[in-house]
Amino acid sequence: MARPAFLNEFTYRNFAESGKEAEFDRLFDDAAQRVKAQFGKKYPMYIGGRETFAAETLIEKSPIDGSVIGYFQKGTREHAKQAIQAAAGALQSWSSTGYRERASIFRNAAAIFSKNKFELAAILSYENGKSRYESVGEVDEAIDFMRYYADELEANKGFLRRTHLKQSTAKVSASFQGAPSMKSEKVTIRMMPFGVFGVIAPFNFPVSISTGMSTGAMITGNTVVFKPSSSDSMTMLTGLKIYEYMKQAGVPQGVFNYLSGPGSEIGDELVVNPGVAGIVFTGSRAVGTGMITKAYERGLQKTFIVEMGGKNPVIVSKGADLDEAASGIASAAFGFCGQKCSACSRVYVHESIKEQFVSKLIEKVRSFKIGNPIRKDVYMGPLISANAFRTYSDAVEKAKSTGRILYGGNKVNTGMDGYYAEPTIIEVNHESELVHTELFVPILTVEGFRGFDDAIRMANDVEYGLTAGLYSKKRKEVSEFLERIEAGTVYVNRDTSATTGAIVGLHTFVGWKGSSVNGKGSGSKFYLQQFMKEQSMSITK
């Protein structure tokens, strides 16, 4: 029987389609007020289900205006060791829990996230400066991940197989060395958890990516030590909420451990500790590849599931619908201030339409309101940190001296204590480092091309290969693009966004080249297998 279609959470779309946008806004506004009323509290870590406090605290401030969201524990290497021990202690019982029960716990968790979605989204907006639509969408994605992985686990019957002797021996002579025994041989092939997983998450999708990675590890029978972003950018409160909701859903003590504290200490301990069998990480290329090198240099053989950065191109061909292209590229480049791994940061446009395209793009970008993202009408909030703003200003200065600023390039004074920056469009030549380095700020480079072949060559000429887009009406170009583009997540003529907004169950979100180590995507049929090792067990009677 065919499986029913996967049902996404799609909160905003459901409210809008039933004419209840005002209700959506009221729910978010009320949640934002409730969240703000809780600002300034002190929060523990959780090791083996027990509240744990450290000697020092970390102050998490909102990038919107610097207000103190809360006081968190500055966990140490010692705490990481304790959490690894707690996770190891819970492994035997959790890995032998039936797969249906594990799936059902994560469906419970999805229901709890869904019930609390506006509150979680409001925390997220305060924590990393996302607009309400982006935040609710991210919580939806977390819910989708849990349900999708529960479905996958069940559809694959917990990844257990019995192979059949008749099929495998049909044409093999019994005298052939290595042939299966002619006696009755029963073979079972199973996928088993690796053990303790370290889950290390980035600041930009702290709800969906942390939930997706943790669910992937736990639903397949591993136990987890989870560490959200806790240094320059801080997303420790959403991390703690994830822990609390998972606990309410029935994840047993010790299976999921929550630590706050610097990556250089807690993250590093997860990497170098032999008690950790695998790391699932999403973040920058420097940190991702650094972790793998360090573990292997020490002779530690771990499983690494590592998703990294992007420098995502879009090609706009002659004859493309320029309104659609300008709109799709503007939202892909400047949604959440370009702080998405999938953000479009490079455009290659045919010389003959370049001027017309750029003016449409500027017209679109000019309409983006910048300010407090808690407000309904604001499209772009603050950058995550002073460091991110430094990257932005340095890049703008480089663009001024080596190319041209076509739009933006300035700090925006909102009267709030945060780093607000204009969406910025620059023209530099292809050799510029601004075309090749992931900046992770609202800066888009534009270059012209004459031949489609050149456009694809330039699009591929970076170390990354995460997302890519094309606007073209020519079938030949579309098929050439799909054949040759070096990226895992590829879109053609997408009006909502040129490179961002993968939907669980519809797309898979996957990177190639320097964007990923395994080349397997999240929200994909091949995601869960990465968290398991295979075993073939043969018994001859």
Interface contacts to ligand NAP, rule CB under 6 A: 200-205, 209, 227, 229-231, 233, 262-264, 267-268, 271, 282-284, 287, 291, 307-310, 341, 438, 440, 466, 511, 515
Choose between 105 and 459: whose C-beta lies nearer to ligand NAP.
459
Choose between 227 and 346: whose C-beta lies nearer to ligand NAP.
227
Residue 386 to residues 63, 379, 405, 425, Cα–Cα distance (Å):
9, 20, 22, 21
CB of 427 to ligand NAP, least distance (A): 24
CB of 498 to ligand NAP, least distance (A): 16
Structure tokens at 62: 């909102």
CB of 234 to ligand NAP, least distance (A): 8
Which is it for strands 160-163 and 185-193: parallel, antiparallel or unpaired?
antiparallel
CB of 519 to ligand NAP, least distance (A): 11
CB of 451 to ligand NAP, least distance (A): 30
**DSSP designation for 48:** T
Residue 307 in 3-state DSSP? strand
Choose between 448 and 523: whose C-beta lies nearer to ligand NAP.
523
Q: Which of 226, 216, 225, 200 is nearest to 307 (CA)?
A: 200
CB of 307 to ligand NAP, least distance (A): 4
Choose between 82 and 229: whose C-beta lies nearer to ligand NAP.
229
Choose between 108 and 467: whose C-beta lies nearer to ligand NAP.
467
CB of 17 to ligand NAP, least distance (A): 29
CB of 235 to ligand NAP, least distance (A): 8
Q: For residues 204 and 183, what is the distance between their CA atoms, to the nearest angstrom?
A: 57
Q: What is the DSSP string of 121-144?
A: HHHHHHHH---HHHHHHHHHHHHH
Beta bridge partners of 533: 192
Q: For residues 258 and 246, what is the distance between their CA atoms, to the nearest angstrom?
A: 11
Q: How many CA atoms lie within 13 A of 323 on its CB side?
A: 0
Choose between 235 and 432: whose C-beta lies nearer to ligand NAP.
235
CB 247 within 8 A of CB 254: no
Q: What is the DSSP string of 142-172?
A: HHHHHHHHHHHHHHTGGGEEEE-HHHHHTT-
Q: For residues 382 and 104, what is the distance between their CA atoms, to the nearest angstrom?
A: 39
Residue 427 in 3-state DSSP? strand
H/E element, 328: helix 322-334
Beta bridge partners of 448: 349
Q: How far is CA 496 from the centre of its chain?
A: 19
Q: For residues 237 and 21, what is the distance between their CA atoms, to the nearest angstrom?
A: 27
H/E element, 88: helix 77-95
CB 233 within 8 A of CB 203: yes
CB of 182 to ligand NAP, least distance (A): 50
Residue 206 to residues 320, 367, 387, 423, Cα–Cα distance (Å):
36, 28, 19, 23
Choose between 308 and 396: whose C-beta lies nearer to ligand NAP.
308
CB of 443 to ligand NAP, least distance (A): 14
Choose between 264 and 479: whose C-beta lies nearer to ligand NAP.
264
Beta strand spans in 155-307 (E)? 160-163, 185-193, 196-200, 223-227, 256-258, 278-282, 303-307
Beta bridge partners of 73: 57
Choose between 369 and 525: whose C-beta lies nearer to ligand NAP.
525
H/E element, 317: none
Choose between 364 and 520: whose C-beta lies nearer to ligand NAP.
520
Beta bridge partners of 58: 72
Residue type, 74: K
- As annotated, the active-site residues are 307, 341
Beta bridge partners of 56: none
Looking up tokens 């991210």 gives: 138
